[in-house]
Each structure stands twice: as structure tokens, then as C-alpha cells.
């Protein structure tokens, strides 16, 4: 990337490199905005950035993932959201938010990025880019922000600048990731408990539907609204702040107030997924691969029937994965397409991937992609992007 950087941006002597991972959520889906526990891990796919500091007030952005697009140039005074800026809005949004919150930024930089995260896949390519730029800004401008504060900044950009009402999980996992560990994360308090997430003899396989979903943002916001209406009704009879404060027993005791069947299902998913996530941590600590696999399957079923965020592409991949030997599989990410995760014995991989691929092509007429991922450290400065 260094040669490419210099072909776009001349005159820089101090060129710095940074790496921001993607993330996969093992279990605990669609509850990060319900005050629930989630269980993500940073993965060894992500976004790399090379930066050179400028003396003027300009920012220039180039992505090798969109090489047909020209260099996007904006000044410190011109960082508002613009549809035509596409991917660069995530970078601009971080800088705009920092300025809006009173941080001192008096000069720009040149940024070249390249990512190997598939877009719209549920592996957080947007959060990876946000945290990359946030970490770069924190370093270049000596802002002295903590990793948790950088994560909150990324979430704020999604919510207030991009108009996506996401929770904190993606950004926090990318900020705080640890090698070979998943992060049991309390999204109500931001407390994080790293847990070793390696089952000897097994691999984590990410399966990409390669379905270009089109309505994720609107459906995501719709699910949040439905769940919030359920919360408001429950709060009339139970003093809680978030749905995930309820145990299943407490939920059953108050579920009579949910006269709308859609709201009942949305709330039931949130509460039951919380219970599964806490049980999953116990299974990981005990090395109980069968229990963890069962919880993955139960999570997918709840996301399919109660939260209704899977769809035929994800359901086909998950069903085929289990048929061909995965101990468990489920949708990961927002759903409606994107990716699923499977836990597979290493000795089966040579047969597993071709078999699942053939099933999916036959049923869906699309070719899936597979990634054998490892869990890695969070966003950081690196020697090189090569």
C-alpha cells in the first residue's frame, strides 16, 4: 500500500499505518440496544489505513475498495453528510463529531484505506472504518480519548450523522478486542469480560450469503421501534429500564400486558437471547462445545421466528451447515442477508465447505463465501499495511 499511497499523496515523510478489525458476534443478537449482554469478538479481517499529516485544513480520502471513484477532498469547514461522498461519510462523520464536541483539530490529513471485510455482510465494515478514523484522530491530534470513548464516538456517528440507530456492540468490540478471546459485554454499563473463545479441534467459519440486502436499515429501525413499544407497556407494571433486565420467569409474569403479538415476539427474543448469552459464556469457560452449539441453533431459531430478521438466504446456509456437521450455526449481525457463523470440527472442513456451498447454490442460485477466522486484538497502530 505504501507505493500506492505515494502515488496518490506526494510529499509526506511521516506516513503512519493503522489496522481496525471487523467483528463477529458469537451470540447475543439484536439485544445490544436492549441493555443486554452480547458476546462479540474482533476478527482478523478488517480495514487498514495509511495516513500522512497535512499542514492545511484539507482532508483527502481514497479507498482501494472503490478505485473507480476520485479522491474525495473536503475541508475542516465542509464535513457535513453528503450522499455523493459514499463511504467517506463514515470518516467525515468522525471528524465532524469531534469538532462538534469541542475537540481541537486545526489541520487535515491524507488517508488511504483498504479493507477485506465484505460490505453489507454483518461483519461491521462501517464500524471498522469509524474506529480506524477515530483511532487515527486520537493519535494524530493527541485527544487522549479512551478506547471506550472512541467506541461511543463511533456509535454516535452512526446514530446522529448516518441515521442508523445501532447499539454500541460493534464499535466496542473493535475498540477492545483481544487475541483468541470473545468479549462478554454488558451494553448497559459497557463492562467487558474477555473470555477465551477457542475450542480445541474446532474452527469458527463465517458463511456469507452474498445477498445484497436493501432494506436492512429500515427493518432494523422498525425492530427497535417494535421492541421499544413492548418495553413501554411492560414498564407500566414493572420498574425496569431495559428489556434485558428481565429473566424469562419475570417476562412470563408480565407478558400479559403485550396484547400486540408482534411486540410480544420481539420482547420474548430479547429476554431469551440474554439468557442464552449468559449460558454461552459458561459453556465456553467449561469447554462444552455441544452446549455452545445448541445455543447457537436456539439463537438462530429465535431470530427467525420471534425477531424475524433471517430470511431464506441465511436460513438455507444455517440449515445446510447443521446438516453437514456443524455443532451449531446462526445468523450473525443485523440479518436480512449478510453472514452466518458456524462452529465446525477441523477434520470436517474439507467436506463441510464444498457441501454447504453446493446446497446453497442449488437452493438459492447464489455462490456463498467462507472465511476461517481467528479472533484478534482491537484497533491499533501497525508497522505497515502491506
Confidence class for position 300, pLDDT limits 50, 70, 90: very high
Strand order across the beta sheet in which 40-53 lies: 72-75, 58-63, 109-115, 40-53, 15-25, 380-382
Q: Based on the domain organization, do 225 and 180 belong to the same domain?
A: no
Q: Based on the domain organization, do 217 and 140 belong to the same domain?
A: no
- Domain range for 328 is 202-373
Q: Based on the domain organization, do 154 and 250 belong to the same domain?
A: no
**Measured distance CA(117)–CA(119) in Å, rounded:** 6
Grid coordinates belonging to 63: 479507498
Is the CB of residue 186 less than 8 Å from the CB of residue 174? Answer: no
Neighbours of 75 (CB within 10 A): 11
Confidence class for position 77, pLDDT limits 50, 70, 90: very high
Residues sharing a CB contact under 8 Å with residue 150, sequence separation 6 or more, in sequence order:
131, 134, 135, 138, 171, 175, 379
Grid coordinates belonging to 364: 438459492
At residue 342, φ and ψ (nearest 5 deg) are -135, 145
Residues sharing a CB contact under 8 Å with residue 327, sequence separation 6 or more, in sequence order:
202, 289, 290, 292, 293, 296, 343, 344, 345
The reported pLDDT for the residue numbered 30 is 93
Q: Based on the domain organization, do 29 and 170 belong to the same domain?
A: yes
Statement: residue 120 has pLDDT above 80: no
What number is the average pLDDT over the span 109-115? 96
Q: Based on the domain organization, do 134 and 215 belong to the same domain?
A: no
Q: Based on the domain organization, do 36 and 180 belong to the same domain?
A: yes
Q: Based on the domain organization, do 206 and 172 belong to the same domain?
A: no
Tell me which of 109-113, 188-192, 199-203, 227-231 is least confident: 188-192
The reported pLDDT for the residue numbered 291 is 98
Predicted TM-score (pTM) of this structure: 0.90
**Measured distance CA(226)–CA(266) in Å, rounded:** 7
Q: Based on the domain organization, do 88 and 119 belong to the same domain?
A: yes
Domains in the chain: how many in total?
2
Q: Based on the domain organization, do 260 and 246 belong to the same domain?
A: yes
The reported pLDDT for the residue numbered 142 is 97
Confidence class for position 122, pLDDT limits 50, 70, 90: low
Q: Based on the domain organization, do 157 and 296 belong to the same domain?
A: no
The reported pLDDT for the residue numbered 121 is 65
- CATH number for the domain including 244? 3.30.70.890
The reported pLDDT for the residue numbered 72 is 96
Mean pLDDT for the chain overall? 94
The reported pLDDT for the residue numbered 164 is 81
Best CA proximity match to 139, nearest among 114, 117, 111: 111
Statement: residue 48 has pLDDT above 70: yes
- CATH number for the domain including 39? 3.30.230.10
For 194, counting Cβ atoms within 10 Å of its Cβ (0-12 exposed, 13-18 middle, 19+ buried), the class is middle
What number is the average pLDDT over the span 123-140? 94
**Measured distance CA(146)–CA(141) in Å, rounded:** 14
Q: Based on the domain organization, do 42 and 168 belong to the same domain?
A: yes
Catalytic residue numbers, as ranges:
170
Q: Based on the domain organization, do 324 and 191 belong to the same domain?
A: no
Q: What percent of the chain has pLDDT over 90?
A: 86
Amino acid at each position: 500500500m505504501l507505493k500506492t499511497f505515494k502515488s496518490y499523496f506526494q510529499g509526506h515523510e511521516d506516513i503512519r499505518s493503522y489496522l481496525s478489525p471487523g467483528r463477529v458476534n458469537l451470540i447475543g443478537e439484536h439485544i445490544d440496544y436492549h441493555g443486554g449482554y452480547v458476546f462479540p469478538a474482533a476478527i482478523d479481517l478488517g480495514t487498514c489505513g495509511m495516513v500522512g499529516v497535512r499542514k492545511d485544513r484539507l482532508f483527502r480520502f481514497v479507498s482501494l475498495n472503490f478505485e473507480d471513484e476520485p479522491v474525495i477532498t473536503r475541508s475542516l469547514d465542509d464535513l457535513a453528510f453528503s450522499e455523493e461522498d459514499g463511504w467517506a461519510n463514515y470518516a467525515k462523520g468522525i471528524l465532524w463529531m469531534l469538532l462538534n464536541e469541542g475537540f481541537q483539530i486545526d489541520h487535515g490529513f491524507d488517508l488511504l484505506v483498504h479493507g477485506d471485510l465484505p460490505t453489507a455482510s454483518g461483519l461491521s465494515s462501517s464500524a471498522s472504518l469509524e474506529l480506524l478514523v477515530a483511532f487515527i484522530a486520537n493519535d494524530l491530534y493527541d485527544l487522549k480519548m479512551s478506547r471506550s470513548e472512541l467506541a461511543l464516538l463511533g456509535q454516535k456517528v452512526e446514530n446522529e450523522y448516518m441515521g442508523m440507530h445501532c447499539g454500541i456492540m460493534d464499535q466496542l468490540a473493535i475498540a477492545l478486542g483481544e487475541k483468541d478471546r470473545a468479549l462478554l459485554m454488558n451494553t448497559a454499563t459497557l463492562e467487558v469480560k474477555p473470555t477465551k473463545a477457542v475450542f480445541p479441534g474446532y474452527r469458527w467459519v463465517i458463511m456469507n450469503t452474498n445477498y445484497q440486502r436493501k432494506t436492512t436499515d429500515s427493518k432494523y429501525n422498525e425492530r427497535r421501534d417494535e421492541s421499544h413499544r413492548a418495553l413501554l407497556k411492560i414498564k407500566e407494571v414493572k420498574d425496569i429500564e431495559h428489556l434485558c433486565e428481565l429473566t424469562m420467569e419475570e417476562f412470563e409474569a408480565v407478558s400479559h400486558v403485550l396484547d400486540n403479538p408482534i411486540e410480544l415476539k420481539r420482547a420474548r427474543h430479547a429476554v431469551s437471547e440474554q439468557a442464552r448469552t449468559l449460558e454461552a459464556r459458561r459453556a465456553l469457560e467449561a469447554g462444552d462445545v455441544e452446549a455452545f452449539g445448541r445455543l447457537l441453533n436456539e439463537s438462530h431459531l429465535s431470530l427467525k421466528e420471534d425477531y424475524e430478521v433471517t430470511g431464506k438466504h441465511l436460513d438455507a446456509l444455517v440449515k445446510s451447515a447443521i446438516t453437514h456437521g456443524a455443532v451449531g450455526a446462526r445468523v450473525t449481525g443485523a440479518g436480512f442477508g449478510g453472514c452466518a457463523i458456524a462452529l465446525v470440527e477441523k477434520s470436517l472442513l474439507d467436506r463441510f465447505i464444498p457441501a454447504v456451498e453446493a446446497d446453497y447454490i442449488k437452493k438459492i442460485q447464489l455462490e456463498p463465501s467462507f472465511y476461517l477466522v481467528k479472533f484478534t486484538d482491537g484497533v491499533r497502530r501497525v508497522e505497515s499495511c502491506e
